[in-house]
Every structure is written in structure tokens, then in C-alpha cells.
Structure 1
Amino acid sequence: MYFGSGISTVHAVFISALSLYLVFWSNLFSDELAGLLVFRSSPLSTFGLGVSVGYFVSDLAMILWLYPSLGGIEYVIHHSLSGIAVAYSMFTGEAHLYTYMVLISEVTTPEINIRWYLDTAGMKRSTAYLINGIVIFLAWLVARVLLFGYMFYHVYLHYTQVIKMHIFGYILVFGVPAVLATMNLMWFGKIIKGVLKTLAKRQ
């Protein structure tokens, strides 16, 4: 777990920073530019997706090799769907914007890994553990709940462009985020219970 969490943290920091830049600060996907945004890409966006494909494939291989000690079937589904969607986007140049919107959710990974380290160190009753739980709650709410809602709304606003994608890409744009959003909500429920449990123990 130590080695795997280190790699996932490095990937998360890199891809979440790149995703935030491409989605919110660059003009690559601006509506003011000519051309359909669902077909826009750049060498930088393609490179970033390539890094993520490599990560998801290697991490999935590790999960399957050590199954189920690193995670159950939900992790296999998550990594498989993510890897397929990111690889498709990278090779076709389609839906880079929506792929990066979903990849922003990786911003929660470092906090999850820190929680594992604190748990392993026997610091469940520490202030650091409580703060970490609150940060996970807030980050998860923004990056894996609200942002997914924003992404679906953005797809709705640009549906006339989305339907011009290849059928497989069209299915991925709707299907993968929907499955991941459902899983995120299930995990979010567990996060809320965990935070409430930690707060109760400190009273």
C-alpha cells in the first residue's frame, strides 16, 4: 500500500493540477473559439491523458494482482471504466474537456492516502485525523459531487456538439460519469458517517 499510495498521490497532484488549468484557466475549451469544443485537444492535454492511462492500467494491474487487499470490485470497476474512457479520449481527441472535468476528482486522492497513513500510525483520535476527515468531506463534495453535476449540465448545454461524436464516445460521455457519480455518492455517504463518528468520539 505504501508504494501504491505514493504513485497515486504523485499522479493525483499532477493530473488534478493539469485538469484545473485546462478546464478553468486555459482558453482551449472556450466557447468563444471557433470549432466544436468536443473535438478540441492540444499536445499538453493529450500528454496528460497518456500519463493517466498509464497510471490507471498499472494501478488496476496491482489491484487485480493483490485482489482484494487493495480494494474490492468497486475499485476494479472504477479503474477499468476510467482507463477505457481516458484512453478513448486520448487516442481519438474527443471529449478532452469532459474527461478532464472528471479527472479533477483526483484532487481527493492525496487526502485519502494521508488518512491511510494516519490510520496506520494509530492516530485515529488525533486532531490531524479529524482535520483530514473534514478536508476529505469538503474536497469530495466539490470535486466528486458538485463538479459532476456541473459536468452533466455542461453536456446538456452543448448537447448539439456531443451528439456529433462517435457513438462509442457519446456513450462514454454519458455512461462513465454516471456510473462514477453513483459510486462517488455511495462513498460520500460513508465519508459523512466517518466524519460524524470521529466527531462523536471527540465529544
Structure 2
Amino acid sequence: MTISDTSGPSKELLWLASVFSGFVFCKIVYTLTGIISLQSFKAYVKLSNFGKVEWNNRGFSTFHALVAASSSLYLVLFSSTFDPSSSNELLIRRTSSLSDMTLGFSIGYFLSDLAMVLWVFPALGGFEYVVHHVLSLFSIIQSLLSGQGQVYILMVLFTESTTPFVNLRWYLDNAGQKNSNLYVINGIALFLGWLVARILLFIYFFSHMFKHFDQVKTVYPLGFYSLLAVPPMLATMNVFWFWKIARGMIKTLRKARHSK
């Protein structure tokens, strides 16, 4: 099966509309974040121009994370699309309009965010962020165009659920709230969320692939080898970042304990 086998005028229109919506909502949320923050947060006014860019950027990354994670959770766990008993079609080849829209929306986001990362590089993130975004785009675009492996892409997209905690940590840090109870609570939530969504979920991901490897082998060659190569790379990055998060949480807890 080739990538073009699942495409058609209506599908292509849906894909383009979804990607475009990702661009548009990123721009809208970016602008609204700046307007609201200027009126509501004193810390925002004190930031440099690049600092304000990152503040606004984290606003639309949080928005994407909430949309992508909630949609992925619904599709994988609660919808009939990937329910093993709902159809005789191979799980690896199942799609729906909502899953296509979710992937298209995320493509729009990752393209927008990657453009900003490169524009002010390395202010918004170093080389590892570029690698993460490129790998994500490479995998999502393949899955959307081919209609294969969407269940696994959606599992990985759910890992975006940790992004709001990462962003809140940055906001609190730049607002001078590192000693607040909210900063400590958010740090613990980030640690636990990362453990569940980016460590344990990947363990389940790999076990699920192993269990359904007879289906995975039916994916077209580039998609098949991507499924074998990209997730381990992302998992390795997640473990590295988890180690840094764990160190940060321990440091914060010790500081909070000594300040009492």
C-alpha cells in the first residue's frame, strides 16, 4: 500500500483544513497570550523581547497540548475507532475524521513551533527540540497521508499532556515564584505526569507493538522502519529529560524543606 492509496479530494481537503487550523489557532493564542499577559502579569512587562516571545510561545504550546492530549485520549480509550471489538479491520489501518483532524492540527502546531524555534534559535530550545519536532513531524505526516499506524501516533501525542506542567514551571520561575507552594506542587505533578505519560506509556507502547507485530509488519516499508526507529529515539529523550526533572524536583523539595 502506498501513501496515496488512502487520499481523495474530501480527505485532502480535511487534511489541509486541519493543518491550516493548527497555524491559525497558534497565531490566535500567541496573540491573545501577549494581550492578556500584558494586562494581568507584572512579570511579563519586565521580560525582554525574546522573553515575551517565549512567554507567548508557551501559551500556544499549552493550548495544543490540551487539544492533542484530550483528543488522543478519547480516540484511543473511549471511541470505537480503535476498539478491537468494533471492527474486523486491522488496528494498524484504522482511521477516522477526528483522528485525521487531530494529526493535521498537530502538524500545523509543530510546523509553527519549529519555525519559531529556528527563528530565535537557541532561545526557545536547543538542538534536542529541533530533533524532537522533526521526528514528530516526520512520523505524524506519514501516518496522516498513509492512514496507517495512527493508533501509535495518537499514543505518542498523548505525551503532550505533560507540556502544561513544563510551561507553568517556566512561568512561575520567570514570575519569581520559585519558592511558592504552587511551584512545588507543579514540580511534583510534572514528575508524576512525566513518569506516567512519557515513561510508563512508552513501555506500554512497545509491548503493544510487540503484541500486534503481525499487523505492524504490514505497514509500508518507510512507515514500518519509522515505527521501529523513531519511538525508541523519543523514549531515550524522554528518559534524559525525566532524569533532569527528577533532579529538579529533589532540589526544589529540599529547598522547600529547609525554608520551613
TM-score range, shorter chain: over 0.9
Percent identity of paired positions between Structure 1 and Structure 2: 49
Which residue of 13, 26, 30 corresponds with 2:66?
Answer: 13
| Structure 1 range deviating more: 24-33 or 49-58 | 24-33
Task: Report the number of matched residues.
Answer: 203
Equivalent position amino acid for 1:125 in 2: N
Equivalent position amino acid for 1:56 in 2: F
Q: In structure 2, list runs of 5 or more residues that go unmatched.
A: 1-53
Residues 96-175 of structure 1 correspond to what in structure 2 (within 5 A)? 96-175=150-229
- How far did residue 67 of structure 1 move? 0.4
Q: Which has the larger radius of gyration?
A: 2
- How far did residue 171 of structure 1 move? 1.4
Q: Which residue of 2 aligns with 1:181?
A: 235
- 4+ runs deviating over 2 angstroms: none
- How far did residue 156 of structure 1 move? 0.4
Equivalent position amino acid for 2:68 in 1: I
Separation in structure 1 between the aligned mates of residue 91 and residue 140 of structure 2, nearest angstrom: 17
- How far did residue 29 of structure 1 move? 1.2
Which residue of 98, 101, 107 corresponds with 1:47?
Answer: 101
Q: Which residue of 2 aligns with 1:74?
A: 128
Equivalent position amino acid for 1:139 in 2: G
- How far did residue 26 of structure 1 move? 1.0
- How far did residue 3 of structure 1 move? 1.4
What is the TM-score of this pair, normalised by structure 2?
0.77
RMSD of aligned Cα (Å): 0.7
Q: Secondary structure at the match of 2:133?
A: helix
- How far did residue 125 of structure 1 move? 0.9
Q: Which residue of 1 aligns with 2:250?
A: 196
Q: Is residue 137 of structure 2 the alignment partner of residue 83 of structure 1?
A: yes
Separation in structure 1 between the aligned mates of residue 65 and residue 158 of structure 2, nearest angstrom: 9
Separation in structure 2 between the aligned mates of residue 85 and residue 193 of structure 1, nearest angstrom: 31
Q: Secondary structure at the match of 2:176?
A: coil
Q: In structure 1, list runs of 5 or more residues that go unmatched.
A: none
